[in-house]
Amino acid sequence: MPQWLQWSLIIAGAIAITVLLGFIRRQISILADNRRRKQKAEAFQAKRRQDMIDSIRVIAMAVEENQIEYSEACLRIKGLLDHVAPELMERAPFRVFMEVYEQLRHMPTHQARQDTEVRFVEKMDKERFEVEERHADEIRRAATAIRNHAF
């Protein structure tokens, strides 16, 4: 084999090695970036979940201290449990949050409530207070149970 061919093959091999090393470095960098992004997203999700659990506990304490209307507490806890532990709403005593939600979900809230006729709002409030009264003991027991629940 002529010497010029040998040197050409050696140079081509060195170039191929250099290109492959650059490709490997780039892939390692991409993998490291993906790992960092994944860890950051997992940390964000864990913090978000813990914040929701803390919110559930604060609302439950407010129920125990009679600082919040039971209907509002049920709606808020149900919404948070949908993200944290939806399976809890199928079990006693937590089922009451879903039951109250189901009975009240047709009622307007926020701006829709403000835009609704006063007599209709009063009628809805009466219905809401009846639901609260009917489930008051269950709601208090569920609030205590959820505040002490290990998520």
Q: Where exactly are the structural domains of the chain?
A: 3-148
CA distance 81 to 74: 10
Based on C-alpha coordinates, what's the Rg of the chain? 30
Q: What is the pLDDT of residue 12?
A: 96
Question: Would you state the pLDDT for residue 110?
Answer: 74
Answer whether 139's CB lies under 8 Å from 74's CB: yes
Model confidence pTM above 0.85: no
Print the SS3 string covering 137-151: HHHHHHHHHHHHCCC
The pLDDT of residue 114 is: 72
Task: Report mean pLDDT in 10-residue bins for the chain, 151 residues.
Answer: 92 97 98 98 97 97 96 95 94 93 84 76 86 94 94 88
The DSSP H or E segment spanning 52 is helix 3-64
